[in-house]
Structure 1
């Protein structure tokens, strides 16, 4: 019997999520692909591992037994990877990172360029995900690390199986149509009568901005609900409303957008999240150092970081 690590990871996720659809979403596969791989795992084992109960899936006793061993096996693989890296004179590794647009454009390129020059054996691949999804993908094993954010008005809930290292601290600024706000700095309340362009309330960014506005005594009048910061800024340039943008997001600014400081700024902390069990992995530590250096060079060093919630 040969057990695929890939299929064991899917079985573990099925146990955690309870449905094939949820497991597939967590692992970034289609539900049909996960179903096919789990069926193949049953054929590999030669026994029934799960049974359907309506929309949910329940593991059989053998399925539970294999899932328990899968946790041990997958943990051993991670520890073996770390041991091999520690034993090498030069670090060689391939890591997969979860990113979002402003990190991918404003922070990662200089960090990876420096890493490639100093440690050419380390290869970093990226997957662009919503910030709300990246930590879960690290926990589930589909990413080695991810970038996560905490806002001064809205810290992100945290998983105790993960560790995180603060990388950068950003301010949020008002992004307004060119010439529409003559002042160089405004209070957030001064934007209460403007039309807004903002991410949905289920997104971490959208929720954080709404909370900041509510703290200043108003509900933003949202005409356009969009998920991508670049899209929001393009709509600002067209005169369709205002939004907030972070320091890293400034690299996405098109012509026709003025950036106005907030007199009482909304802050956010950017961190790298990884599994706590991987804290000693040399390649991961070298990546963290490279990203920290890139943030410091842009004036976004972590010395003023927000408190990280337990």
Structure 2
């Protein structure tokens, strides 16, 4: 019997997600591709591994048995990778990272250029995801590491199988149409009567801003709900409302937008999340060091660990 690690990872994801569509989305494949690979896995094993119950999929007893062994096999593959990296005098490895727009534009160019100059054997590939999705992708093994966010008043639920290393601390600013706010600093409450452009409450950013406004004594009037800071600022530039933007997000600011400091800062920490089993990977630690150095150059340096 020849068991494919690739197909075992799909089986594990099917068990976790409950549907082929959800498993495919988590692994960034089409549902038909995952179905074909799982069907081939059943042929490899010579037994039925799952059965459909309406829209969901339930593993058979043999499927559950194989999934339990898949966890061990995939863990052993990761440990073997680590052992090989530690045994090599020069680090040569490819890592895949989960990012979002402001990290990709504000931190990564400097960090990856520095890494390429000092450690040319390390190749980092990126995949853009919503900040809320990146940690799950690391846990599931489809990413080697990802960037994650923690807001001062809205801590992120954490998976005990993951660790995180803080790389930057950002503050949020008010982004307003040019010449509409006459001062260089305001309280959030002074912005209460403005129309807002804000991410949905499903996002960490959207929840954090709403909580900050509520603690300042008001509910923001949200006229436009958009997820990307760059989109929100484009709408601010058109005079459609105000939003909040992070330090790294300032690199995406279009003309026609003024940046106003909040007198009571709203802060967030950017961290790198990775599986506990990968903590000793030399390449990963070198990437974290490069990203921290890039953040420090921007004045956004962070302490090295995040509690929790």
Shared fold by TM > 0.5? yes
1:30-79, CA deviations, whole angstroms, 9 ceiling, x for partnerless residues?
22221111111111211111111222211112111111111111111101
CA contact (8 A) 1:189 1:216 kept: yes
Counterpart position of 1:275:
275
Question: Is 1:103 aligned with 2:141?
Answer: no
3-state secondary structure, aligned to 1:43: helix
Distance of 2:98 and 2:161 partners within structure 1 = 17
CA contact (8 A) 2:91 2:283 kept: yes
Moved more, 213-222 or 24-33: 24-33
Give TM-score, length-normalised by structure 2.
0.98
Distance of 2:215 and 2:153 partners within structure 1 = 9
Distance of 1:308 and 1:241 partners within structure 2 = 34
Distance of 2:12 and 2:189 partners within structure 1 = 48
Distance of 1:219 and 1:192 partners within structure 2 = 8
Q: Can you give the 5+ residue segments of structure 2 that lack an aligned partner in the other structure?
A: none
Question: Is 1:203 aligned with 2:203?
Answer: yes
CA contact (8 A) 2:174 2:262 kept: yes
Counterpart position of 1:64:
64
Counterpart position of 1:39:
39
CA RMSD of superposed structures (Å): 1.1
Distance of 1:135 and 1:279 partners within structure 2 = 15
Counterpart position of 1:118:
118
Paired positions, count: 308
Distance of 1:120 and 1:309 partners within structure 2 = 32
1:152-181, CA deviations, whole angstroms, 9 ceiling, x for partnerless residues?
121110000000001010000000001000
3-state secondary structure, aligned to 1:302: coil
1:122-143, CA deviations, whole angstroms, 9 ceiling, x for partnerless residues?
0000000000000000000000
Counterpart position of 1:19:
19
Distance of 2:272 and 2:46 partners within structure 1 = 41
3-state secondary structure, aligned to 1:97: strand
3-state secondary structure, aligned to 1:270: strand
3-state secondary structure, aligned to 2:73: helix
Distance of 1:203 and 1:302 partners within structure 2 = 23
